[in-house]
Structure 1
Amino acid sequence: MKPKVVILCGGKGTRLREETENKPKPLVKVGNFPILWHIMKHYAHYGYSDFILCLGYKGELIKDYFINYKFYRWDLQLNLKYGIKSFMQDMVEVEDWDITFADTGQETNTGGRVKKIEKYIDGDYFFLTYGDGLSNVNLHELEKFFLRKDKIGVITGIRPRSKYGEIAVDPKGVITEFKEKPLLDNFINGGFCVFSRKIFDYMDENCILEKEVFEQLVSMRELAVYVHEGFWKCMDTYKDYQELNKMWYSGNSPWKVY
């Protein structure tokens, strides 16, 4: 049995208010599809197609998108008296995904959202990621790494780029080197995690995953990092939204492994 994929979809995306005023962040589009769809396509490409979506802010719109998925994608002809008559074009094969929509609350913290879906996890471990990050991380290798490490959790570590140019200066104040937005030395949490179901023992419905839970696992040496040197980008701001869409429309979409 393949592990389920839990995606955190409940945040308000306040730093992307231009797009999230009337819809949840996971429904913000990259190209013609919501960023959530791209994330799910990535997992499904590797054979993981049983999803649990942790809903919160405007979660009903995420339900609506998938319940009416075919109607949103294709032209159709409608007879008001008898209902839908026909689609106006041949449909490509629809994704064979199983989706559990879990209402995890409007103001629930990340750890609390995960705790609330414990009842839907029927395997020994599961994937977890955020509904706003794209990557070309190899999920088969990530799963193998998790099983090999035999820890409660593995997170994908990303080396971010500096937002600024970096200069080196000699004792006389002369610049000896200039690097435009270099890669930083430390890693950040890029999502794309794998967790043993043991993690639920360290959670309650008010906890913050990245604080109380991760800190406790670190103190126990039960959290490992899978280093990913390839593409990764989070849609955190409107600028990120513009950059991802520019990539998509230019035909340069490094996350598109499917």
Structure 2
Amino acid sequence: MKVVLLAGGLGTRISEQSHLKPKPMIEIGERPILWHIMKYYSQYGFHDFVICLGYKQYVVKEFFADYFLHTSDVTFDLTNNSMEVHNNYSEPWKVTLVDTGLNTMTGGRIKRIQPYIGNEPFMLTYGDGVCDVDLDNLLDFHKSHGKTATMTTVNIAQLKGVLDINEENVVNSFREKAETDASLINGGFMVLNPDIFSYIKDDATILEQEPLQRLAQEGQLMSFHHNGFWQCMDTQREMKKLEDLWQSGKAPWKIWEN
């Protein structure tokens, strides 16, 4: 199963960093947060990634093109123009990097990667947030209900999409969050069936608006509630929080050894 990562936005709320690089390339523990997300999925056996790019897309492409330069010791022999990579641990990843447009909205980005997905379910999340959700349980839940979409939901004070969920975990409605809300919110880490593409019109479609609202109205959007750790990185303060967790050795999303 492929994992689609949304990594093309401007990241204006953390412009202190994002004016230099895309937000998913901002580093936590000297590795882009995008890398942390991919490492997490990989621990559950998901190794095939499709990354939706836009703003400063070349930064992401250069990172993967020169992956060993970022992650390994190297020796350059200038006399014969050669490079030796030391301790070159290789991630078991296949990474497809797709230019989905500079100003394309989230739904439009997903529509653009349809040729790389085919007629199969896929994982989807944002390229700026980490958590410790059990991805195996998430996928099992999605398979069990047969609906188009499953979204991981969390209860935290963030300006994300608000959900009205019934006792059977069906999402009855989806709307933008107000600062006074204390409801469950969209935490990303979704599983989507391929018919999601029929809910997306064009580049101007925002996934979190008409498509998710329509899915909710049709009873096709399900909630997988997560009570554990979840944190996005919209601000400098949130970036520092994640960095502090990493440096403390207690980052909840770090479930790998190396």
Shared fold, TM over 0.5: yes
Runs of 4+ in 1 over 6 A off after TM superposition: none
**Alignment partner, residue 231 of structure 1:** 229
**Share of identical aligned residues, percent?**
41
**Alignment partner, residue 43 of structure 1:** 41
**Alignment partner, residue 194 of structure 1:** 191
User: How many residue pairs are counted as aligned between the two chains?
Assistant: 234
Counterpart of 1:113 in structure 2: which amino acid? R
**Rounded Cα–Cα distance in structure 2 between residues aligned with 1:90 and 1:162:** 41
The counterpart of 1:124, out of the listed 120, 125, 133, is 120
Q: CA RMSD in A?
A: 1.5
Counterpart of 1:159 in structure 2: which amino acid? N
Note the alpha carbon deviations across 1:193-235, whole angstroms, 9 max, x for none: 0000011111122211000100110110100100000100000
**Rounded Cα–Cα distance in structure 2 between residues aligned with 1:71 and 1:207:** 37
**Alignment partner, residue 239 of structure 2:** 241
SS at match of 1:5: strand
**Rounded Cα–Cα distance in structure 2 between residues aligned with 1:216 and 1:133:** 25
SS at match of 1:107: coil
**Rounded Cα–Cα distance in structure 1 between residues aligned with 2:253 and 2:217:** 33
The counterpart of 1:153, out of the listed 142, 149, 154, is 149
**Alignment partner, residue 170 of structure 1:** none
Note the alpha carbon deviations across 1:143-181, whole angstroms, 9 max, x for none: 000011111001000010489xxxxxxxxxxxxxxxxxx
Of residues 200-209 and 230-239 in structure 1, the stretch that sits farther from structure 2 once superposed is 200-209
**Rounded Cα–Cα distance in structure 1 between residues aligned with 2:28 and 2:83:** 31
**Alignment partner, residue 70 of structure 1:** 68
Counterpart of 2:60 in structure 1: which amino acid? I
Matches within 5 A, 1:158-197: 158-161=154-157, 185-197=182-194
The counterpart of 1:20, out of the listed 6, 18, 21, is 18
Max radius of gyration: which structure? 1
SS at match of 1:128: strand
SS at match of 2:209: helix
Counterpart of 1:228 in structure 2: which amino acid? H
**Rounded Cα–Cα distance in structure 1 between residues aligned with 2:146 and 2:158:** 33
**Rounded Cα–Cα distance in structure 2 between residues aligned with 1:162 and 1:128:** 20
Q: Is 1:59 the equivalent of 2:57?
A: yes
Counterpart of 1:240 in structure 2: which amino acid? E
**Rounded Cα–Cα distance in structure 2 between residues aligned with 1:23 and 1:84:** 29
**Rounded Cα–Cα distance in structure 2 between residues aligned with 1:130 and 1:244:** 16
SS at match of 1:54: strand
Matches within 5 A, 1:194-213: 194-205=191-202, 206-213=204-211
Q: CA deviation at 1:81?
A: 4.7
| Structure 2, unpaired ranges of 5+ | 160-180
**Rounded Cα–Cα distance in structure 2 between residues aligned with 1:122 and 1:156:** 23
Q: CA deviation at 1:185?
A: 4.7
**Alignment partner, residue 167 of structure 1:** none
**Rounded Cα–Cα distance in structure 2 between residues aligned with 1:229 and 1:107:** 34
Normalising by the residue count of structure 1, what TM-score does the alignment of the two structures yield?
0.87
**Alignment partner, residue 90 of structure 1:** 87
Report if aligned partners of 2:73, 2:87 keep a CA contact under 8 Å in 1.
Answer: no
Counterpart of 1:17 in structure 2: which amino acid? S
Report if aligned partners of 1:20, 1:28 keep a CA contact under 8 Å in 2.
Answer: yes
| Structure 1, unpaired ranges of 5+ | 164-183
**Rounded Cα–Cα distance in structure 2 between residues aligned with 1:25 and 1:69:** 18
**Rounded Cα–Cα distance in structure 2 between residues aligned with 1:235 and 1:28:** 9
Counterpart of 2:184 in structure 1: which amino acid? F
Q: CA deviation at 1:57?
A: 0.2
